[in-house]
Structure 1
Amino acid sequence: MEFNFDFHTSEQEEQRVNTLLQYLQKQHPETLAWIAQSASPEIKEIIHQNVQGLVGMLPMDDFDVQITTDREDFANLLASAMMTGYFLSRMEQRKNLESSFSGSDCL
C-alpha cells in the first residue's frame, strides 16, 4: 500500500499548514507500509465496511460503478478512514490488555 501525497496541490490548500500531512510526507515508505500491514484483519474489515458505507454499496458485478469527488471530500474520506483505523487499533490493544489482565491473578 502506497499513499500518493500529490493530491494536495491547490494554492489555497498549500497556504494552510497541515501538520499531519507534513509528518506523513517525512515518513519512509517502508514505515507507512509496515503500519498499514500491522492492522489486524478485523480492523481492515471494519474500515472496508465503513468506507463502503460512506461511498455506496452497489454490487460491481451488476453495475459499472464510477465515483467522482473533489479533493476536499476525498481528504475527508481519507481522514475518516485513518481516524477509524487509529481508534480501532487502540480499542483492539485495550481489549487485548483487558483479556490478559482478566486471565492473571493480579486483580
Structure 2
Amino acid sequence: MSNRPDFFDGASESSNLLWKYVQSLNPDTIAQLSQPSSSAAQVMERNLKGILGGLPGDRFDVSVTTNRDTLGQLLASAMMSGYFLRNAEQRMALEQSLQLTGHSEES
C-alpha cells in the first residue's frame, strides 16, 4: 500500500518526481517556505485568489471544479511564480544589505 494520495495514481513520471522531491524536503524548510510573512507569499496569495476567485467565504458559497491536469498546471505555475518572486525578494534584500554595508564602510 502506498502512502501517497490517490490523485497521484496514474500521474506522469515528472509528477512523481515532484512528489518525491516535496517528500524529501526537511520539515523545517517546508515550514519556512510556507510562512506567509514574506512579500512573495502575499503576492502569490493575492494572485491565486484572483485566479480562483476571491469572494468572501462568509457571504458566498464558492466551489471551484477542475480536473487533475488543470490543477497540476495551476500548481506548477504558482510554484514557478513563487520561486521567481522569492528569488527577487532575496536579491533585493541582498542588494539592500550590500548598500548598507557600503555606506557604513564609507563613514
TM-score using structure 2 length: 0.72
Distance in 2 separating the partners of 1:60 and 1:32: 27
Tell me, which stretches of 5 or more residues in structure 2 are unaligned? none
Tell me, which stretches of 5 or more residues in structure 1 are unaligned? none
Distance in 2 separating the partners of 1:92 and 1:17: 32
1:40 pairs with 2:24: no
TM-score using structure 1 length: 0.72
Which consecutive aligned stretches of 4+ in structure 1 deviate over 6 angstroms post-superposition?
A: none
Mapping 1:1-107, distance limit 5 Å: 6=5, 7-9=7-9, 11=10, 13=11, 16-18=12-14, 19-37=17-35, 40-103=37-100, 104-105=102-103
SS in 2 for 1:60: coil
Percent of aligned pairs with the same amino acid: 39
- How far residue 30 of structure 1 moved from its aligned partner, in angstroms, is 4.4
Equivalences, count: 98
- How far residue 65 of structure 1 moved from its aligned partner, in angstroms, is 0.7
